[in-house]
Structure 1
Amino acid sequence: MWAWALWLLPLLYRSTWAALPAKPENISCIYYYKRNFTCTWSPERGANHTWYQVKRTHTFGEDSDTCNSTSEGHASCSFLRLITYPDTYQIQVQARNADGTAESDVTVWDLDTIIKVEPPVISSVKPLPGVKRMLHIRWAKPVSSALNYTLRFRANESDPWMEVSFEREMDGDQAYNLTGLQAFAVYAIALRCAARKSKFWSGWSQEKMGMTEEEAPLGLDVWRILGPAQGDGLRPVTLLWKKARGAPALERTLGYLVRYFPENSTRLAETMNTTHEHQRLKLYLGSDTYRVSVIPYNSIGEGPAATLRVPAIAEKPVPCIQAVQTHLTKDRLVVTWQSSAPDVDTWTVEWLPDLESAPLRWEPVSRARNWTIQRGSLRLPFWCYNISVHPVLQDRVGEPYSAQVYFEQDAPSAGPVTKVENIGVKTVTVTWKELPKSQRNGFISNYTIFCQAENGEGFSRTVDPSTLRYGLGSLTRGTPYTLQVMASTRAGGTNGTRVNFKTLSISVLEVCLTTALVGGGLLILTVLTVAYGLRRPNRLKRLCWPQVPNPARSSLATWRWDGLQTKLPQKGIDDSVTAGDRILKPCPAPSDLIDKLVVNFGNFLEDVSSEESGKGRETILGGENNEYVTSPARPYCPSRKSSGEPPTVTEVAPGKPQHRPSRQPGGTGPGAEELLLPSTQDAGPARVPGDGLPNPYLKNSVTTREFLSRV
């Protein structure tokens, strides 16, 4: 019994851990006409070493065969032989591995519904003579049965494909006439087909090119640029035209006929023939309203005329556009506008970069109030574009509405040039120049002023883009500062030039105030002085200009001792003082001092000395009562015994001046004594009269006042 258990144990273990293959599902089959019959299915995920076998029953159930495939390749199998068409096939897929097998359900396939034919081969694409805007297409039939066709075509590689579908019977003509095309345009043609009951289309055939016949030009779109009136009354008008929308890309035009005339006088019409390649012409029209028409022509004939009305100089356009908005997307710019005139459905959009010599571009818009332009049409992404919308009602153009837009913005290429003005104690004015349009790279959103002190303290101020001048306050007195201005757009900012300045230590107001106070004080002092002088003129005169006697008019030489002695006041004299004590002893004095004291006296006494020379060198004003005073410039010196002492100069005490008595001609009489001063050549000291009283002459003398003083 144990032997039977040991024998069954491996069988039970094997049946527990066996991994059978998954059942094949999602079977799909297709019949490639005259090539093979292929079936595909969904195998088990991650299956290893699984073999598949496809069993096919054909010829309406009478024959069968198989096709083998492995999981290492595609989950498909193709029958290359014994393809019977039309027929119905029964397909069953069997999966097998080392642990067992699994079979799928049986599927039935009608070859008419799963047939896929080869694409047709286009033999020719050409226009029919005398038929405009049409191409005749012929091709070879891939299968001898009724087929459905799809034809696609386009004139340019950038245009989307356009498709047209049609059917052809088994014995029908394999040709098709493609109409509604543009004149004188090259088209690319491709074709595909499918069996009438089949759900599989063939691939597209190889493209074939064909050109439609040429005809007269389709038409033009015309616009104008009005210039200012000139001094002679003429106004320059630039005509612009281009091919009308929908015109053939290869349309040939040999020239243009431009005809213009005043609106109220057609007999004054003028015609010009131009072949200008730039499709523009400049006319000089009068101040009235004009009608202008442009007619294109080629070898086939003339196209329709495009007419334009040029308003008079005095005519005012009618406004009807209320607002214009711009919307930026990733690869295009959308312009929308609102109008107050519901009957206006035609517009003209102008756009050009904000440059002096930029060419104007324009485009008409009909039955819409929006306009879209691709990014590739704007060649300057960081440049400002001016966009204007003109309403057109029949032949009259209304007032335009303009807007500016950047398709793409960036930080400015450079910062503003900055300078400072009106530097004060705590204030300064900052000015900067507006950035050139070529450096903005976007709309300036604001300006930011950065101010940094030398000690590290800084601040900033932000102003709107219309401000180019700003005053800073609350600065520190006598402090150096560094200043910059940054211009910012939506994409970033750029700093401008750096400016260094230092605030003032004292303001002009303070200087003016101090000057005013000092000047006011001096003015008040002057007024008071003048008032005092007017009230007491003599005292002010003596104070400013003291009276000094003229030595040349002195009467010292004519004084007489007798009269002088009687007129001088007698004062008590100390008898204890002897005559010898009252006489000052001479002491040495510098020679220049003697010159200062004597030379000036010698000048005005020269005449007197010459008249009195006959009297001799006697003592003037005899008597022993003469007194001498010393100069305050040197101290009293005792008498010297030596005979070699230098001469000395003594000064007499001043007294009251006396009147000069009349002099006798021819000398002096007996008993009369005249005053005579010794010359500078006398060896002895000069003696002057006096009785201990001050001499008024010597007191007021200009030449001796700095040396004399009362004893």
Structure 2
Amino acid sequence: MSWSILILLTVVAMQICIGEKPCVIWSTAGSVIQRGRSFQVFCVFKNTCEFHMEDSPSTEQEPILFNSTTLYLNVSNIAKDKTYCCECKNHPALDPCGLDISTGDPPDPPKNVSCIYKIDRNQSEVFCSWDRGRETNLKTDSDLWVTTLPGDKSHGPRSYTADGSASFNVSKSVQNISVWVQAKNKLATVNSRIFNYTLSDIAKPSTPVLGQPECLSQTCNIRVEQSMRTEHLEIQYKADQETWETLQTNSDMQMDSSVWSIGALEPFRLYHFKARSKFSTGLWSDWSTITSSWTEEEAPAKELDVWFTESESDTQSMRVYWKEANISISRGKIVEYIVGVDRSNTSLSADVKNYSISHCAKCEVTIWARNSKGLSPPAKIKTRRTTGNPPQGVRVTQSNNSVSIFWRTPETAASPSGYVVEWYPQGHRLEELRWLRLGSSNHHAVISDMKPLECYEGAVYDLQQDRSGSGTKFTAVAISESVPASGPVIQDKVDGNEVKLTWTELPRSERRGCITNYTFYLKNDSGNLRKFSEAASKRTHIISGLSPGVYTLWMSASTAKGEGPNSTKVKFFIQQETPLSSLLVCIVASAVVLLLLCLCQSSSVKQRFWEIFQCIMLDVVPDPANSKWAKECSQEKGKINLQLQLSNATETEEEEEEPILVDVEELPRQSDDTSALKLISSQPPPETSLKQDAEPTTLPYPLTTYIKSLSHDSDSSDQTHTSMDTNTTVDYISSHGPEILDEDGEDEEREEEFADVNFFPCQNIFMEPLEFGGKLTLDAVKIDCSNFFQNCDG
């Protein structure tokens, strides 16, 4: 090894002497090196100089001094291309010398060599392909080598340069071939193994060409064209979203062009077709281009799936729903729906899937679907729920992508004809009702088309022949729940020491499942926090018994997964309660007083009030003891002349007539020491009067010691009242006109005549002024007053 290095150094030195470069650079492995090898890079300089050596990308490795003119680097496990450079720093005019190292891998032997013998009417060729293997990072060429064996003679080998595939022509006399692939780059040359083929085994016909299918409602005819006659033909067909079905034909009598009929198809379906062929031996041809066609329509095969529900606001209003039938039932494009209610038919467009029926709680509804070929069988339903035993034990289990519902039939109930499970988003029954119809043997339903984060409710009904049965509801069902996305919006109304809270339901997109309850948080100005809870169905909450102060309130909604974020906080103030009733009383009393003061400024109003006051105060009478004639009576006993003054109702008080004199005789004392008044009149007493000498055992009226009279001349300004005992008799002398007084002393009978006389008639103050008849002055009355004040002593 040392001798070879010395020889190389000598050769390099000679080159330096000849060239203009200051140095020569070279590697012990050449310029193309397999990845992962180790080698050395040398730099030999022409003259002694301050030389330098580096690599790029740099490995920060210091070069090793071999001698006074030579440097070298040890390179280990090279992984990528690199560049090495040597230069003299003290001779910058001299160009540096450099070396580019390329790295890569030798090629892999080609694998999976496959050849196909393509036969066409005009030519035939062999097409071969193979797997090149891993990427080498170096340019790699591939050659296909072929040896043909026509009869018993061999021709070849011949190479065909290609990159992964190649084709070549062969004569019809060739029966067998041998092929292999050679791959090479600057590091190595490798060959695949040799593959031997019999051309008849790899023969492949050309791809068939399909014409446009011609279809009826259940049959399609399709034309297949081929360049050569084949023994086998395979046609595949399918409708949308279905799997391919295969029709294999016996092609012994097949010509180059033929028409094939495909039956047992569904009406009004888009079918797709493709075909391929094969010789008696060899490979199948490539699939033809897919061609498509619609089958014709037929009248719908089955009745619609119909259901109904009642309106929540009007029990007499129903809404009937029907499902859009799938294409296998509709057998065509539905152009309209016909709804019949009590022999009255209504035509609806094909976009409508429900119909509202008013005031028809027990109707029979019939629905048809129509396409271009006719009507579907009638679907009938009676909008009446039967009474009876609904499904029992309804329970719901939830998972991340479905809901399972279980139920059982009561033992005492008749076997139903089937069941219907209905479900809808909470609060959207009329808009988004869905249902599933099941047989009578089913007691379990799996619902997988519920939207995640949506709250559902529904019911299970048993069906009795053509009418719906009674049902059992289920509520609060959801899949993939989460906590609510936001809090409710609160409105507060303060009333005294309580606050009424109202809120609206969260939007559907923010509920994230079924709301289980609402939670309220109330904080006063002292920082004390109280917590309340309300059911999910409620929309109001009242907090009472609050003390005066400032309060802060917020709330949140919860699902089964937890409590959502808080709502916006609201503040309200509870004021100190005021004695509202006392305040109102004071306000009303003040208003009444002010009104009376204003009214009293009018003389006519004051007169009306005085008359009302006199009407009400019946017991307030003038005191005769203080009258003028009573005082004279105390000085002179005997007879006193009483003047009864009459006044005309139409005259004023100033125009009074002459007084009428009435003689009053003092009677002797009775046994009970009570004085009686004997009124003397110019008129004879009535026949019913009592005789003078009659002494009844009991007096018809209690006796009194004074006469009560309404007189303007009476001196009763002081309104002095005398107390009255149980034996007091009140004699009234009317001032309405002249009266006939009994001069024989039968005053008791006269008192009976005066008993029903109303001395103080109550009149409406808004009518005409009160008017009285003749007036009686006490000065005109002559009376025995010896015992007038007998009751005053007690």
State the TM-score, normalized to the length of structure 1.
0.52
Letter in 2 for 1:397: S
Tell me if 1:398 matches 2:447. Answer: no
* Residue equivalent to 1:138: 223
Contact 1:352–1:359 (CA under 8 A) maintained in structure 2: yes
- SS of the aligned residue for 2:297 comes to coil
Aligned match of 1:187 in 250, 271, 275? 271
- SS of the aligned residue for 1:164 comes to strand
Q: Distance in 1 between matches of 2:487 and 2:5?
A: 96
Distance 1:453 1:212, change over 3 A: same
Letter in 1 for 2:231: A
Cα deviations by residue, 1:522-548 (Å, 9 ceiling, x for unpaired): xxxxxxxxxxxxxxxxxxxxxxxxxxx
Q: Distance in 1 between matches of 2:173 and 2:553?
A: 92
Aligned match of 1:370 in 445, 459, 476? 445
Distance 1:351 1:255, change over 3 A: same
Q: Distance in 2 between matches of 1:435 and 1:321?
A: 31
Contact 1:414–1:495 (CA under 8 A) maintained in structure 2: yes
Distance 1:106 1:185, change over 3 A: closer
Distance 1:491 1:256, change over 3 A: same
- SS of the aligned residue for 1:205 comes to coil
Cα deviation for residue 483 of structure 1 reads: 2.1
- SS of the aligned residue for 2:230 comes to coil
Aligned match of 1:172 in 250, 254, 267? 254
Q: How does 1:371-386 map to 2 (within 5 A)?
A: 371-372=446-447, 374=449, 384-386=455-457
Q: Distance in 2 between matches of 1:317 and 1:340?
A: 11
Cα deviations by residue, 1:198-249 (Å, 9 ceiling, x for unpaired): 566624513222x323333322225243658999xx9665554455443245
Contact 2:336–2:349 (CA under 8 A) maintained in structure 1: no
- SS of the aligned residue for 2:211 comes to strand
Tell me if 1:498 matches 2:559. Answer: no
Contact 1:193–1:201 (CA under 8 A) maintained in structure 2: yes
* Residue equivalent to 2:158: 66
State the TM-score, normalized to the length of structure 2.
0.48
Tell me if 1:340 matches 2:430. Answer: no
Distance 1:97 1:359, change over 3 A: closer
Tell me if 1:160 matches 2:242. Answer: yes
Cα deviations by residue, 1:566-618 (Å, 9 ceiling, x for unpaired): xxxxxxxxxxxxxxxxxxxxxxxxxxxxxxxxxxxxxxxxxxxxxxxxxxxxx
- SS of the aligned residue for 2:169 comes to coil
Letter in 1 for 2:165: C
Distance 1:57 1:301, change over 3 A: same
Tell me if 1:102 matches 2:102. Answer: no
Contact 1:136–1:177 (CA under 8 A) maintained in structure 2: yes
- SS of the aligned residue for 1:247 comes to helix
Tell me if 1:90 matches 2:178. Answer: yes
Distance 1:236 1:141, change over 3 A: same
Contact 2:176–2:198 (CA under 8 A) maintained in structure 1: yes
Distance 1:139 1:25, change over 3 A: closer
Cα deviation for residue 355 of structure 1 reads: 3.6
- SS of the aligned residue for 2:396 comes to strand
Contact 1:114–1:200 (CA under 8 A) maintained in structure 2: no
Cα deviation for residue 166 of structure 1 reads: 1.6
Tell me if 1:449 matches 2:520. Answer: yes
Tell me if 1:25 matches 2:97. Answer: no
Letter in 2 for 1:105: R
Distance 1:281 1:140, change over 3 A: same
Distance 1:390 1:464, change over 3 A: closer
Letter in 1 for 2:407: Q
Letter in 2 for 1:340: T
Q: How does 1:564-643 map to 2 (within 5 A)?
A: none
Letter in 2 for 1:137: I
Distance 1:498 1:227, change over 3 A: closer
Contact 2:116–2:203 (CA under 8 A) maintained in structure 1: yes
Cα deviation for residue 147 of structure 1 reads: 3.0
Letter in 1 for 2:112: N
Letter in 2 for 1:322: G
Contact 1:153–1:190 (CA under 8 A) maintained in structure 2: no
Distance 1:183 1:200, change over 3 A: closer
Q: Distance in 2 between matches of 1:466 and 1:297?
A: 44
Q: How does 1:124-135 map to 2 (within 5 A)?
A: 124-127=212-215, 132-135=217-220
* Residue equivalent to 1:304: 377
Q: Distance in 2 between matches of 1:416 and 1:190?
A: 62
Tell me if 1:319 matches 2:390. Answer: yes
Q: Distance in 1 between matches of 2:555 and 2:510?
A: 14
Q: Distance in 1 between matches of 2:534 and 2:211?
A: 73
Q: Distance in 1 between matches of 2:139 and 2:372?
A: 76
Aligned match of 2:138 in 38, 48, 72? 48
| Structure 1 vs Structure 2 CA RMSD | 5.3
Q: Distance in 2 between matches of 1:322 and 1:382?
A: 26
Cα deviations by residue, 1:246-276 (Å, 9 ceiling, x for unpaired): 324534567758486xxxxxxxxx5757566
Identity of aligned residues (%): 18
Distance 1:452 1:29, change over 3 A: farther
* Residue equivalent to 1:212: 295
Cα deviation for residue 85 of structure 1 reads: 8.9
Q: Distance in 1 between matches of 2:480 and 2:175?
A: 65
- SS of the aligned residue for 1:80 comes to strand
* Residue equivalent to 1:670: none
Cα deviations by residue, 1:99-155 (Å, 9 ceiling, x for unpaired): 553332212234455455554322131135xxx42222222135432234241321x
* Residue equivalent to 1:202: 286
Q: Distance in 2 between matches of 1:299 and 1:3?
A: 101
Q: Which has the higher strand share?
A: 2
Contact 2:182–2:192 (CA under 8 A) maintained in structure 1: yes
Cα deviation for residue 43 of structure 1 reads: 3.1
Cα deviation for residue 63 of structure 1 reads: 2.5
Contact 1:24–1:44 (CA under 8 A) maintained in structure 2: no
Distance 1:86 1:241, change over 3 A: farther
Q: Distance in 2 between matches of 1:100 and 1:440?
A: 68
Q: How does 1:638-657 map to 2 (within 5 A)?
A: none
Cα deviation for residue 37 of structure 1 reads: 0.6
The runs of 5 or more residues in structure 2 that have no matched partner are: 9-27, 39-104, 580-794
Contact 2:518–2:534 (CA under 8 A) maintained in structure 1: yes
Distance 1:83 1:406, change over 3 A: farther
The runs of 5 or more residues in structure 1 that have no matched partner are: 261-269, 509-711
Contact 1:85–1:111 (CA under 8 A) maintained in structure 2: no
Contact 2:306–2:379 (CA under 8 A) maintained in structure 1: no
Contact 1:28–1:41 (CA under 8 A) maintained in structure 2: no
Q: Distance in 2 between matches of 1:388 and 1:405?
A: 11
Q: Distance in 1 between matches of 2:469 and 2:480?
A: 31
Cα deviation for residue 40 of structure 1 reads: 0.6
Letter in 2 for 1:78: A
- SS of the aligned residue for 1:105 comes to coil
Q: Distance in 2 between matches of 1:99 and 1:228?
A: 86
Cα deviation for residue 164 of structure 1 reads: 2.4
Q: Distance in 2 between matches of 1:63 and 1:144?
A: 31
Q: Distance in 1 between matches of 2:323 and 2:566?
A: 46
Q: Distance in 2 between matches of 1:385 and 1:175?
A: 55
